[in-house]
Structure 1
């Protein structure tokens, strides 16, 4: 039996780390041989990985070592925001490649969630840098499968802009390119997702008539989301409802061609796989879990060794791969580890799973590893302020090369010893306060305790006025500082 408990990262797919940890109890007199020599990474990278993973209590004691050179220290940079993070990383990659030190296929940008890829994609396109996202699903290359997947992704969270744009006119709804462009421009201007912009169609200038075509689509999506929350409602029923409510299946049946019949058969096969997932899931099956499991099936198969592209992928997708240059981005509390893990019923177990994922990411690097974080980033249309990840804090200072962003006075770490945490939490600038008559438009003010439907209770720390709405800054104990638009946040004052 061969296994590495430190790389057990698929709990959400039913993997059980205790199969390894308790193996000797189940099979007495087992001889254990530790394979600790590493042939991939430098000493510096391995020492960093060891310092992180040793914080897990649920693991077998071991420490990777190598005969490879010491190598350069691991780099860490905390940027002002996620835009600066993406811009600097892509600029650095282009500089290294143009210097002749490496090719584009020597680089990998790793992140915790797929949503983090958008800014990197935009910057790569802007710099004319070839890239490939690993994580798309080979099995779902056929058109009809991509369509249904796009519906599922849209229902799941609505943050995948490409998925929403793919299905907004599938089947045809008479929404033209001009309308799409206006919605897209509105989304970019307001830093929200394309789907969120669709929900505000009635407020987008120039969409008065077209909004009547968008509203039924949004209503359909919201209705399906509501059904998904109903107890006993299965994922296979969800696909049936998508096919029925959209008329997608009806169009294929009416077409009646061999190609249409093949497409129906492909959809049936998708339903089969979904039912299998529901029946075999050791934890409660979820739409998110299904989408992630399907994506992982062919992640590595999608990588063409001969292509000269930068690779972008989630940390889960990176397992089993190696690259000379690796960038691990979004190393922040609430991102990696995520809030769901931090505030889980059993947080220690979830955090240890996240730490193993971090260990896997670090050990993908052969020559150079860069860890990055942002003080603030946009998440689901809201500005989120994050402190550096606990995994960064666990790395002794002497192992890190702390580099500052190009902009002056944006990077001011405070060190007290070589082994103390690298960064102190970032404090956002205090917003301008609103007083007098303007405050009467809200039923709460700075210092009041309010309740948010998702983030729970928090304290209002600032209120600023935009063109048409108030921007309210709230400090939520469990979720950190959020900047919310008052009309959408629906904050309710709690009487003290």
Structure 2
């Protein structure tokens, strides 16, 4: 995002129409990377996009290269270009890696498939893939049912079907088979799933209707306690995060510990956010965006304002070193001995020498804001730090490597023992739980409003159906499906997927 901001600033005078909402621009650029876009102004992928996008895309690629930085989308972009523009490199790569295995192939986007085609020659297709077209739930990220068809056509793949399922009870498998048969874009000769688990191992299956979402989520804790289940054996799944947040709130209120699994890319507590920003500035001392972030976080942390322009003026006197200039400016305005001591340690361990690990260990030992979020995020950072120390020898860890590793990791707290995961369907993919509560099974929620609006045979509806297929096949023992007659005061009908599964309501709860 920092580099994109820099490109936009450079283009601002020539292209005044660039919107303020730049996060959406980053999403657009990432989508173009996934579609193997190369900057052509007439490409089909540019439909309904602003006229400045091709130039923005090309400048962003140039800036990434000049900065020696790549994000995930651009890694795919430049890897594909390297292989496509240099056939010799592709040929040598094929010689080094004669056999290729791809797991979860159904999730690949066009750029990934283009790379695969460059790595695996059609005349010697030593290629093995694992895929399930009933689990394509990342269309928004470039996945497509047509890609599996293209694979079979391009390489003449022999298909070996493995329909046996060892996770789910027979009744769940029957529901899943009933549901997914409503999708048209499936492998034509695909076999139905076959359960290998005994029906006797299965304790229960319920479809419940409630008056509203409050009573729906409140019933989860009641069911867990009445059944005598261990909390860690249960999971709450939903299509959207909003309903999960309500469920987590109700679980907490009723004495159970939820784990709301959400990716968190940045620290949020002011003190922790400031230290992270200061490390980034120490690693790139001429970067104005990192300077701005350091100042903003410091103001939130200490209520002291340090203007970016003022620091830039001071930096002119010391070779443009923004970190040194920022610390000097902050020291002049430090309002307490605590902050003066902190800034002195930053001077000693970041400005004059890079002893950042020593600085961090001292920083974590302090209680800066008496804030539960501070304690949580410091613990999370320390866990990330510990994992990094175990993976690399401390003497080999540069600040650049350290930040690269930390920045790639989620800053969300780890799941506590005995907690109940509250997951979106996408977040639950690949996992399994003894007891699953699938909530919010109402039309315009699951399936989503957009899918309902597009219609029964739309790509959006088929992907929602695959989402539901993934959700119910997380079950090892029991499944509770529920919907409410109203959400946020609006009347809702039960999800069409309930009927498609052949599920019958067994109980009405008030």
TM-score by length of 1: 0.48
Which entry has the higher C-alpha Rg, 1 or 2?
A: 2
